[in-house]
Homo-oligomer: A and B are copies of this chain.
């Protein structure tokens, strides 16, 4: 397997140039006041497909198409990786097969279809794996794993290359951890570009497998994750575990109530739509973690694909105001 190094991240930067958005970094006096830190928000919720996952998927497809004859790719994903792969394939003239295990959100299903992918609905995760095997044997589809893939990890690492270029002297970066693809990419880039920067992994308390895995130096499975942060329910992979062990400074465990409160804070105060997985990385600032106090803290807001809870039950203005009136 290809070595996952910073050189691979640098190639990803070149390949994603002009394709992925260089997402803006926003600041907010509201969150600075609340947290006691100087906070910089890297808005990957503004990325194509609404999440950083586009980076890794596009990079992987580009690299795989240049090295092998296949133009057919497949993955199992009910989430943002599926959308990222679908768009990455469409942009590069390839075919994407996205196996979506139930249950999944109607919005993401529509999005993947909208990007022109072949969608295969699977009753559960094990059916999904069987379908994936069929796709490989029937179509010679090349599988692009959501995180345990060197090209995917390198693509996600481009977030950090941009971030340290946009903001000088970040002391700490916070990012959520699920399978560890994003975090591994961030670590590789930080190690090369800002070796003294601390990187904290933020994980739902209801799915603390990454922290346990790093502690025990083995992939601790997560059979019954209990969190609304649907992007963070997976376990680490063989590629991501050693990178995290080497580079991650520490972990913050975040409760479910804190996740919802962070989403609400983003909505009401920052006017940003973020998904639960992103909220996990914002939450340590809102509870004023002592390690963050007085520091220049970067947060990767990983995505914003959540359902619109409107249209409001009221369309008539008067009714609105009466409903809200106190």
Q: Does chain B have a CB within 8 A of A215? A: no
Which positions 257-309 of chain A face chain B at CB distance < 8 Å? 257, 260, 263-264, 267-274, 304, 307-309
If A24-B26, A45-B271 touch, whether A310 touches B260 (CB-CB below 8 Å) is yes
Chain A residues within CB distance 8 Å of chain B:
21, 24, 26, 28-29, 43, 45-46, 48, 50, 102-107, 109, 206, 225-230, 233, 256-257, 260, 263-264, 267-274, 304, 307-312, 314-318, 320-322, 324-326
Give the complex CA separation of A43 and B26 in angstroms: 11
7 A-B pairs whose Cβ atoms sit less than 8 Å apart in the complex: A26-B46, A29-B48, A106-B324, A228-B316, A230-B320, A233-B317, A271-B272
Contact A310 B263 (CB under 8 A): yes
Contact B260 A315 (CB under 8 A): yes
Chain B residues near A324 (CB-CB < 8 A): 103-107, 307
If A267-B308, A273-B271 touch, whether A321 touches B48 (CB-CB below 8 Å) is no
Contact B103 A322 (CB under 8 A): yes
Give the complex CA separation of A309 and B325 in angstroms: 15
What's the minimum C-beta distance from A43 to chain B, rounded to whole angstroms? 8
Chain B residues near A230 (CB-CB < 8 A): 317, 320-321
Chain B residues near A311 (CB-CB < 8 A): 260, 264
Chain B residues near A256 (CB-CB < 8 A): 315
